[in-house]
Amino acid sequence: MSTKTAQDDKIRARFSHMGLVVKDIEMMEDFYTNTIGFERTDGGMTTQGVIMIFMTLDPEEHHQVFLVEGRPDELPSNTIVKGGGPSIHHLAFRLESLSDLRKMYKRISDEYDAKIFTGTHGNCWTMYTTDPEGNGIEFFADTPWYVTQPFLKPMDFNMDEETLIEATEALVSVAPGFTTLQDFYKDLHERVPARESVLT
Ligand SMILES: [Fe+2]
């Protein structure tokens, strides 16, 4: 097959949304809208009597997360990681800055008693926790760097911001593949086309 044919056959798919089956849809809507900041775009009951809620953080997507009732009371655990989810590993949310990530860390630690892990993947600072029904969630904010993945080192988000940035740079600057995030995305832009706005 020539390169030209391969290009013509290429179907451009973009990730849009995911659906979560939930037990307590009001509690879950409250968490995703009030704690994380999703905007509810639609919702209601189907003719079969099932409640569905649509929400987004992106003005160009009707919904990114869809909640629907019906989760069983008990689900089996991950077969390797004890206590881990059986199918959803985590949903991840990009935050604007390290300072926003530290605010979210404080909000989650003050308002919930869920376990929290904080660290860096080198290309971002990250915080793993769970939503009120135990689905894994991650909040992250970009660092200015890139390193070969997987890379994960624990970090204490109670350190002041300047110390945290310096400690991260010391860790990542000696890691394999170390470069700037800008260089990584420059290369990625050549491999994955940008989307067009719905408004143009
Ligand atoms: Fe992730």
Closest CA to 67 of 85, 48, 88, 52: 52
CA distance 131 to 133: 5
pLDDT at 2 over 60: no
Tokens representing 49?
Answer: 């009597």
Q: Which of these, 47, 140, 130, 132, lies nearest to 97 by C-alpha position?
A: 140
pLDDT of residue 6: 64
Query: What is the percent of the chain with per-residue pLDDT over 90, rounded to a whole number?
Result: 82
Instruction: Look at residue 200 and tell me whether its pLDDT is greater than 90.
Output: no
Distance 46 CA to ligand 1 centre (A): 32
The mean predicted confidence, pLDDT, of the chain is 93
Does position 129 have pLDDT exceeding 60, yes or no?
Answer: yes
Residue-by-residue DSSP string for 26-38: HHHHHIIIIII-P
Map out the domains of the chain with their CATH numbers.
Answer: 17-70 (3.10.180.10), 89-193 (3.30.720.110)
pLDDT in tens, 5-36: 566 788 888 899 999 999 999 999 999 999 99
Element spanning 188, H or E: helix 181-191
Closest listed residue to residue 18, CA positions, set 38, 45, 35: 38
Q: pLDDT by residue (tens digit) across 55-71?
A: 999 999 999 999 999 99
**Ligand 1 centre from 110 Cα, in Å?**
23
Cα of 85 from ligand 1 centre, angstroms: 14
> What pLDDT is attached to residue 194?
83
Looking at per-residue pLDDT, the higher value among 115 and 3 belongs to: 115
Kindly report whether the global pTM for this prediction surpasses the value 0.85: yes
Structure tokens at 87: 């199918």
Q: What pLDDT does 3 receive?
A: 56
Ligand 1 centroid distance, CA of 195 (Å): 22
Query: How many angstroms separate the alpha carbon of residue 193 from the centre of ligand 1?
Result: 22
